[in-house]
Chains A and B, each alone.
Chain A
Amino acid sequence: MTDALLNLNSVTVRRGMKTVLSNLNLQVSSGQVILFNGKNGEGKSTIIEASAGLIPLEVGSVHHHGELLIDESGKGGKPVHPFGLTLQADGCMGSQRIEEHLHNTMDITGSRIEMDSILERYNLKHRKHDLIAQLSGGQRRKVAMIAGVLPGFVSTKPRLIFLDEPDSGLDQASRTSLIEDIHYLRQKGHAILISSHNKEFEKCATHQYNIDGMVEIDQESTPEIVRDEMPQQPSKGVIALRNGVVCNNRTMSTLAYNGIAGFLTLGILLALVDTTKLDTGTIQKSGLILSSAFAAGLVGDSMVQMLHEHRSLAWWKAHKQGIPSSYIHGSILGFALTLLTQLAMDLPISWELTIIGSILTTSTMFIVRMFDLTSARLARPRAAFTRILTPTLILPFALLVQWVTDSNLI
């Protein structure tokens, strides 16, 4: 088992009401390129996603480099040797720049290389600083495909690379470059799984796999591709946190999404309630001060909405390096709203209460985000009415307000 980079042991996967994979056993070793080229619905993408640990298994287990990635009980760990992944739906957020997405891939792998030569091969160097949202469908596909193969270029040790329909929407020149890159990565000892109907991949595949079984393809005559080794640079950490902050700074989504709810709540309460008539130390006064911070948190995390774009959430989940969030911006917003409420009510500033407001927004946002992430696996996650569950937060809020009142923080 330890010799193979990938082991699928008796894997059974169900999608919808259908059993897509049944008792599948597959071993992939260093230097092998497996091409899945069966008909639609035969489970090509399912094999790729199950191998990347993205789909819960009904039966069986998946091992990477001999270590358990996921089993039927959902147990598993972080991949010991991070892999490359190109999802059929790209898996990249529109609010990120090309270079940011590729840096994320390299940081997950463990070190960085200069990416210009690779981008130049795919005619994307001039677009390096552009947002992914500004690219055409084909260009975005190239970014997703490069992100998939990049760990192979970065790592000196054999890695797994999963490419689901990598050629979809690519021009002929890019397809030719991709096939050459796959040859190069295979010669470096990486193991590559490709799902595609394109027969051109038979030029670089060592095995072809479909419903009839595995067929070996002779690649002995392929000339060796020699390229200069790229100098390695250190990677940067806190990948998910960094991306959350960068995307929030760029889009101001927390302000637009959560801030507007908080400001509206504050405005309505100030318009309807004569705050001068509320006695200090009453539950109404404490509740009013914290309401806007609570309302801002109830809206949820704007990053989750962005991560639904092109299945970016699935890409982050597969790599198990955390998922970008808006917690930092949420805590600042909660702090600002509680402070503003006290100023608007002409009260002496209570810094303890202001910090409580900040924690309230962040923790409320965290719980609503959990509801959203739990329902992310559904076929129609946005139609799941998760907001019906937000009243679960009113009781803790009421108890917090009661505690604030009893503690004489105002």
Chain B
Amino acid sequence: MIQRETTVGRTMSKRGAEGILILGFIGIGLTLGLALLKAPSVSINAFESPDAQRIFYWHVPAAWAAFIAFGFLFVGSAMWFFKRSNLGWRMHVAGAEAGLATGLITVWSGMVWGAAEWGVPWDWTDVRLNTFGLLTFLALFLVLGRQSQPDGVETRDTFSTFGLYGFVLVPVTYVATRLWQIRHPGPVVGGGDGGSLAGEMAIILLIGAISFTVFIIGHILMSMRITSLEQRLERIQKSMDKV
């Protein structure tokens, strides 16, 4: 009976993660639809390319979700490094993968907007742009690097170290537009006077933020489950090696 309940519980938790991920996907799609079809147009005096601004309803929530993922990565890295927690390692792996996915969405959408508004997709002297790009590169390094190594304390220690150091970039990226306002737009929410949104724009952005948050939670849960299954498979294979 206990065995059956555990199996049912696992199946429900697996389906729960899948459900959250699918819900997040639907929300992300809805945000894109609302951004393109419903969001009000911005002033043609304020932007070179006003229509391109619609991509921000994706760009900003994706960046928000990426910060959540990088937070997971940092907490997971610290939990593994200082406490040798297997849960911490799974959080590290999940945070890196989710950070890579949302980081790439942020970078790609930002480049599309930059090409339309600035005339160039990338500006090497813009600090936020570059620090965010570097966070995405760090996530890429952690994902590809981990896949190239056998699992073990050496692998986990090394990549956790990079995860811990890399997190320094998160607060730098967050405050970058306040400290070095070169070309990157300042904060749209909580940025003080003149930077806030109102009305329909804020609602669509909120839907985007909630959707990406749901997506990132689903992604992290799925990823942690996959890592857990990989570890289980390895334990079974090792026990079969001894027979």
CA distance A383 to B145 in the complex (A): 7
- Name the distance in Å between A286's Cβ and chain B's nearest Cβ: 12
* CB–CB B154/A398 < 8 A: no
Docked-complex contact A374 and B158, CB < 8 angstroms? yes
Given A388-B140, A399-B125, check contact A380 B154 (CB 8 Å). Answer: no
What residues on A are CB-neighbors of B48 within 8 Å? none
B161 on the interface (CB 8 Å rule)? Answer: yes
B148–A380 CB distance below 8 A = yes
- B49 at interface, CB cutoff 8 A: no
Partner of A379, one of B125, B127, B155, B238: B155
Contacting pair A392 B137 (CB below 8 A): yes
The reply to whether A389 and B149 form a contact with Cβ atoms under 8 Å apart is no
Partner-binding segment picked from A10-18, A259-267, A300-308, A325-333: A10-18
Chain A 40-63 interface mask (CB, 8 Å, partner B; 1/0):
000000000000000010100000
- Complex: A16 Cα to B157 Cα, angstroms: 11
Residue A402 is within 8 A (CB to CB) of chain B in the complex: yes
Q: Which of A56, A380, A383, A384 has the most CB of B within 10 A?
A: A384
A347 CA to B213 CA, complexed, in Å: 54
Question: Is there contact, CB below 8 Å, between B154 and A378?
Answer: yes
The answer to the question of A377 belonging to the interface, with a C-beta cut-off of 8 Å to chain B, is: yes
User: CA A394 – CA B124 in complex, angstroms?
Assistant: 7
List residues of chain A with CB within 8 A of the CB of B144.
385, 388
Q: Is B138 an interface residue (CB 8 A)?
A: yes
Which single member of B125, B141, B158 contacts A388 (CB below 8 Å)?
Answer: B141
Nearest A residue to B238 via CB reads A17
Chain A residues near B188 (CB, 8 Å)? none
State the total of A-B contacts with C-beta under 8 angstroms: 79
B180 to chain A minimum Cβ distance, whole angstroms, is: 9
Contact of B130 with A by CB under 8 A: yes
Provide the bound-state CA to CA distance between A402 and B148, in Å: 38
- How many A residues face the partner with a CB closer than 8 A? 26
Alpha-carbon separation in the docked complex, A16 to B161 (Å): 17
Whether B162 pairs with A16 at a CB distance below 8 angstroms is no
A389 touches B148 (CB 8 A): no
Collect the chain B residues with CB atoms within 8 Å of residue A384's CB: 145, 148-149, 158
Assess whether B157 is in contact with A383, with CB atoms less than 8 Å apart. no
Identify which of A386, A392, A402 gathers the most chain B CB atoms within 10 Å of its CB: A392
Please give me the residue from chain B that is nearest to A56 by CB atom.
Answer: B157
Distance in angstroms between the alpha carbons of A130 and B10 in the assembled complex = 65
- Within B146-160, which residues are at the interface with A (CB < 8 Å)? 148-155, 157-158
Given contacts A374-B158, A388-B137, A394-B124, contact A17 B151 (CB under 8 A): yes
Closest to A283 in B: B125
Which residue on B lies nearest to A287, using beta carbons? B124
Q: Cβ of B187 < 8 Å from any Cβ of A?
A: no
In the bound complex, residues from chain A placing their C-beta under 8 Å from that of B148 are 380, 383-385
Taken together as a complex, chains A and B put the C-alpha atoms of A385 and B146 apart, in Å, by 10
Q: Are B124 and A15 in contact (CB under 8 A)?
A: no
Contact residue among A385, A389, A395, A402 (Cβ-Cβ distance under 8 Å from B131): A395
CB closest residue in chain B, given A387 = B141
Q: Is the CB of B133 within 8 A of A391?
A: yes
Is A321 located at the chain interface by the 8 A CB criterion? no
- Are the CB atoms of B153 and A16 closer together than 8 Å? yes
With a CB–CB cut-off of 8 A, which chain B residues contact A391?
A: 133-134, 137
Contacting residues, chain A, for B124 (C-beta < 8 A): 394-395, 398
Contacting residues of chain A (312-366) with chain B, CB-CB under 8 angstroms: none
A239 vs B213: C-alpha distance when bound (angstroms): 54
- Can you show 9 pairs from A to B with CB atoms below 8 A apart? A375-B145, A377-B158, A378-B149, A379-B154, A384-B149, A389-B141, A394-B124, A395-B131, A398-B124
Q: Which 4 A-B pairs have the closest CB atoms?
A: A16-B152, A398-B124, A395-B130, A388-B141
- Add 7 more A-B contacts to A15-B154, A374-B161 (CB < 8 A): A15-B152, A16-B151, A16-B154, A388-B140, A394-B130, A395-B124, A395-B131
B interface residues with partner A (beta carbon < 8 Å): 84, 124-125, 127, 130-131, 133-134, 137-138, 140-141, 144-145, 148-155, 157-158, 161-162, 234, 238
> A residues within 8 Å of B by Cβ?
14-17, 56, 58, 283, 374-375, 377-380, 383-386, 388-389, 391-392, 394-395, 398-399, 402
